[in-house]
Chains A and B, each alone.
Chain A
Amino acid sequence: MSSVAHTETAAWIVALRVARRKARLRLIAIMLGLVVTGVGLTLVTGPSMTTPSELLRILAGYDVPGASFSVRELRLPRAVLSIIAGMSFGLGGVIFQTLLRNPLASPDIIGISAGASAAAVFAIVVLGWDGSAVSILAVIAGMAVALLIYLLAWRDGVAGARLILVGIGLSAMLDSMIAYVLSRAPAWTMQDALRWLTGSVNGATLAEALPVLLSLTIFGGLLLARRDNLEAMRLGDDTAAALGVPLAREKLLAVMAAVGLIAVATAVSGPIAFVAFLSGPIAKRITGPGRSPLIAAALVGALLVLLGDYTGQHLLAGRYPVGVVTGALGAPYLIFLIIRSHRSGREA
């Protein structure tokens, strides 16, 4: 096994790697193009359409009577929040799915989003809080749910059917708690209920989007920086440990960062239904074999929220918050996965 030999094979694996990296970069460029298109659509569409030239002038800081306000104060924050919340959900979701090696183990299925959402509703409606205090409570609640599921599902190891079932049960309980708290609120509306149960970017402001951007930068950066360890953990605990991954620390960091992403976004937009659940599998399907598609999943998340919101606002008869649209997309896939895992006799 001298180091001079094997050059041909080495050259081949280098070529394979380079080809794949190129293909992935191309895909990411395409997705970025789609995101820009989605933002453009969101910015120009309204009761009266804004022309692209008007839009450019508004974005350059000029005033266009009748359009500046809608674009700057309504549509731009909406598009910004859609992107960063979508990215947070997509990335948080794919981390959970990768770590637990199960597409059903996404935070919005196993109750972590519902926990964050319930805490946010409680903080806003009962305690009268707002701003980052709500986010912090949502993160704590998300962590608490994660811990609770972990403890309840302990006996199974972690990725088994028990975890999913316990999570789904907890999620349902938390949803009914949200409905209860809202029903006791003095002036609750259908809009509020929908936001906290399925998620919405209605009435977004840039100030609201700021904590989400911060969490995306910090937690997302942390996850990307630790990506190699995360990848090695896909091989199972024993193999990963034998490859030198300090499992306990890396798992804890990854789960905390993912919960942070999900919870902070949820505290602002509500638990936008199934975005965390769908982004990873879609990204994987698009990118093919290789490392888990973290960046692609984040971009798919952004696209789902942007385009889902556009669809709900402008393409359907009547106006629906984005969570209703993504919910309708995700439900069939959830049913498909449950049936498949049941049939193949694999653990769900």
Chain B
Amino acid sequence: MTTLNVEALEAGYGSRTILTDLDLAVPSGAITAIVGANACGKSTLLRCLARLLRPTAGQVVLDGRSVRHIPTRDLARRLGLLPQSPIAPDGMTVADLVSYGRHPHQGMLSRWTQHDDRAVAAALEATRTADIADREVDQLSGGQRQRVWIAMALAQETDILLLDEPTTFLDIAHQVEILDLLVDLNQSRGTTIVMVLHDLNLAARYADHLVAIRCGRLHTAGSPESVLTERTVKEVFGVSCRVIPDPTSGKPMMLPLGRHRAGAGLSTEDTTS
């Protein structure tokens, strides 16, 4: 089972430090959701995990070895990343794009095989994009395109999959479908999944482990019940809310309270105490 750990990580861009002193143990074979306000450093953290950004201090350790010392292609066979806003080049079909997921498995010696074709086909079917395989990616809707990108990451067949906001651009049906798909993947192949999600309720419902980041530091990590609390939401997002158990899953569910329309008799003061 692969293990992924972050030790005393510090990282940033140029002279600006974004992440400070961050320790994190990603549970193997589980689904982890990273939550936090805009610009708090979630994407930066994923980029460090996938070694797209070199930390200024600390390290990311995969299976007991610092990722800095793992050859690029080796790493790409074990750990996949779907960036937050990937670039869809013009003049590329869905099948082309998903086939790139096989890139790390190709090499001087290993040519494209039937297994590669099947992996691509499986990824297309899992994301329900098989019927648009011959369409050009830049002519798809935002949601279709997002599913195609996820298909590419699936075709990579890695033990660990990092996804930066995989459900943005998707309608609620497709959001749920993608999250269900990730759970399937997690259960059938034991893939460790780490994703950034903005929807706290979906995060609590689908993740085994929640990580809340605030201003580049780890705020809280643990089970959804221990992380999604009124206090954490207030501290991490600066938003007052009520947390109640989800009537179907029993997971915590939060209802934000704005200044308006929060209902009669409920003021923000009532809920923060």
A residues contacting B by CB (< 8 A) are 1, 3, 5-10, 12-14, 16-17, 101, 228, 231-232, 234-239, 241-246, 284, 288-291
Contact = CB atoms under 8 A, between A and B. Distances in A.
Interface stretch (B24-32, B116-124, B206-214, B253-261): B116-124
B95 A244 contact: no
B188 A1 contact: yes
A243 B121 contact: no
Contacts of B126: 1
B189 interface: yes
A96 to B, nearest CB: 15
A327 B80 CA distance: 46
Contacts of A243: 76, 100-101, 103-104, 156
Interface residues of B, number: 47
Interface string B56-97: 000000000000000011111100111100110101110111
B133 A9 contact: yes
Given A6-B125, A234-B89, A242-B80, A13 B133 contact: yes
Nearest to B162: A242
A241 B115 contact: no
Contacts of B117: 10, 13-14
Contacts of A235: 86-87, 89, 97, 100
Interface in B115-155: 115, 117-118, 120-122, 124-126, 130, 133-134, 136
A236 B59 CA distance: 25
Contacts of A244: 72-77, 103-104
B45 interface: no
B95 A228 contact: no
B106 interface: yes
Contacts of A239: 81, 83, 86-87, 100
Contacts of B77: 244
B189 A232 contact: no
A239 B103 CA distance: 11
B251 interface: no
A13 B95 contact: yes
A291 B90 CA distance: 10
Contacts of B51: 241
* Chief secondary structure at chain A's binding surface: helix
A16 B92 CA distance: 13
A20 to B, nearest CB: 9
Contacts, number: 113
A10 B86 contact: no
23 contacts: A6-B121, A7-B118, A8-B121, A9-B125, A13-B133, A16-B134, A17-B95, A228-B106, A231-B100, A232-B103, A234-B89, A235-B86, A239-B81, A239-B87, A241-B50, A242-B80, A243-B76, A243-B103, A243-B104, A244-B76, A284-B91, A290-B92, A290-B93
B52 interface: yes
Contacts of A232: 100, 103
* Chief secondary structure at chain B's binding surface: helix
A242 B48 CA distance: 11
A242 B91 contact: no
A174 to B, nearest CB: 31
A289 B47 CA distance: 30
Given A17-B95, A236-B86, A290-B96, 15 more contacts: A1-B122, A3-B122, A9-B122, A10-B120, A12-B133, A13-B95, A13-B133, A232-B100, A238-B47, A239-B100, A242-B52, A242-B82, A243-B103, A284-B91, A289-B91
Given A238-B52, A246-B72, A16 B95 contact: yes
B93 A289 contact: yes
Nearest to B158: A242
Contacts of A290: 91-93, 96
A252 to B, nearest CB: 15
Contacts of B93: 16, 289-290
Contact of B136 (A6, A8, A289): A289
Contacts of A284: 91
A241 B93 CA distance: 21
A238 to B, nearest CB: 4
Contacts of A7: 118, 121
A289 B92 contact: yes
Contacts of B124: 9, 13
A253 B96 CA distance: 24
A228 B121 contact: no
Contacts of B74: 244
Contacts of A245: 72, 103
A6 B117 CA distance: 9
Nearest to A229: B103
A232 B96 CA distance: 11
B92 A234 contact: yes
A12 B133 CA distance: 9
